[in-house]
């Protein structure tokens, strides 16, 4: 008899396998990051086609064999459809998925990271939030959650507001994280600080970030 | 297909795939050149393992 498991999570990666199947990677609340096969998910009209796209958040039912999961049903509560109409938002979202993929492991408690990812994607779809601010909050909080944040150095020459913002990001629970705005000056300084921290800690180049930065550079040059 | 376009963009992360998904007029010509599109299928985020295995099988034949 096959054992079914129902897990809550978000699809962070999907790639084609065989002629009609997909292999997906899901960040789950219960079992950390797992990979699973979705048979027939690339067949037109298949019920697993939409739920196996990245950003799909909801409950997934799998049957687990000894060395793999196979997706059988999915009940999606949020597809983050808004990102499909927001070109840059989609890249920010992809970047968050890449960081989540980089930081998470199988069979470890990734509830905090899942919450952070979900709330950050929600913030990306909200009109009143600057995507750059969402990015810097996500980057710093991801580093904090994974226990790699070195703490603010005493000799950092930051504006008082920037230092307060960094402390706020460090100490505030994820649920209340996206509840503030900053001035352009603080945002710029926060960005420089976040980049410095990420470059020191993360030993990987994220492709979506590279594209994002190229787009920003292109837009900046066009407006000059 | 609409859904396929988004999936493709999510796999490759390429700007022109997004434009194709959105049905951008300037992408119409590129979309019709199926051969050219496939040349780029390994770009970006796509895992190429499957193609490597396929290659090995072909050499065996």
pLDDT interval class at B41 (50, 70, 90): very low
* Residue A9 in contact with partner chain B when CB distance is under 8 A: no
Q: Is A150 helix (H, G, I), strand (E, B) or coil?
A: coil
A78 forms beta bridges with A57
- Rounded average pLDDT over A82-108: 92
Average pLDDT over residues A44-71: 92
**Which residues contact residue B4 at a Cβ distance below 8 angstroms, ignoring those fewer than 6 apart?**
none
Strand A32-38 vs strand A69-78: parallel, antiparallel, or unpaired?
A: parallel
Nearest-by-Cβ selection for B44 from A16, A53, A207: A207
Q: What is the pLDDT of residues A113-126, one digit of tens each?
A: 999 999 999 999 99
Which of A29, A22, A26, A28 has its CA nearest to residue A11? A26
Residue of A nearest to B46 (CA): A15
Given a cut of 70, is residue A71 above it in pLDDT? yes
Q: How far out from the chain centre does Cα B20 lie?
A: 11
Say which of B7, B13, B21 has its CB closest to residue A208. B13
Cα angle B41, A21, A106; round to 5: 95
- Using CA atoms, how far apart are residues A196 and A200, in angstroms rounded to an integer? 6
Closest CA to A93 of A168, A151, A11: A11
Q: Do A90 and B46 touch (CB under 8 A)?
A: no
What is the ipTM, given to two decimal places? 0.75
- A172-224 pLDDT, tens per residue? 999 999 999 999 999 999 999 999 999 999 988 898 898 888 887 777 676 66
Reported as type and span, the H/E element at residue A59 is strand A57-64
Position B38 pLDDT exceeds 50: no
């Amino acid at each position: 008899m096959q054992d079914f498991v129902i897990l809550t999570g978000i699809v962070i990666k999907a790639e084609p396998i065989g002629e009609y199947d997909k292999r997906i990677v899901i960040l789950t609340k219960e079992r950390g990051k797992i990979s699973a096969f979705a048979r027939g998910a690339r067949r037109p009209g298949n019920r697993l086609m939409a739920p196996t796209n990245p950003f799909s958040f909801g409950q997934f039912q799998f049957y687990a064999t000894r060395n793999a999961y196979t997706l059988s049903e999915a009940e999606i509560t949020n597809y983050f459809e808004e990102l499909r109409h927001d070109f840059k938002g989609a890249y920010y979202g992809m970047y968050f998925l890449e960081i989540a993929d980089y930081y998470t492991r199988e069979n470890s408690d990734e509830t905090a990271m899942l919450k952070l990812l979900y709330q950050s994607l929600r913030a990306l779809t909200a009109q009143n939030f600057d995507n750059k601010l969402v990015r810097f909050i996500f980057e710093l909080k991801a580093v904090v959650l994974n226990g790699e944040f070195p703490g603010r150095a005493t000799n950092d020459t930051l504006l008082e507001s920037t230092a307060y913002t960094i402390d706020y990001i460090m100490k505030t629970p994820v649920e209340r994280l996206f509840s503030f705005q900053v001035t352009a000056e603080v945002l710029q300084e926060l960005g420089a600080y976040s980049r410095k921290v990420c470059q020191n800690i993360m030993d990987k180049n994220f492709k979506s970030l590279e594209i994002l930065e190229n787009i920003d550079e292109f837009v900046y040059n066009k407006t000059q | 297909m609409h859904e396929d376009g988004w999936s493709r963009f999510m796999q490759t992360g390429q700007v022109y795939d997004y434009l194709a998904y959105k049905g951008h007029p300037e992408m119409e010509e590129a979309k019709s050149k199926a051969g050219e599109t496939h040349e780029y299928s390994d770009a970006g985020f796509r895992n190429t393992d499957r193609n490597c295995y396929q290659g090995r099988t072909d050499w065996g034949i």
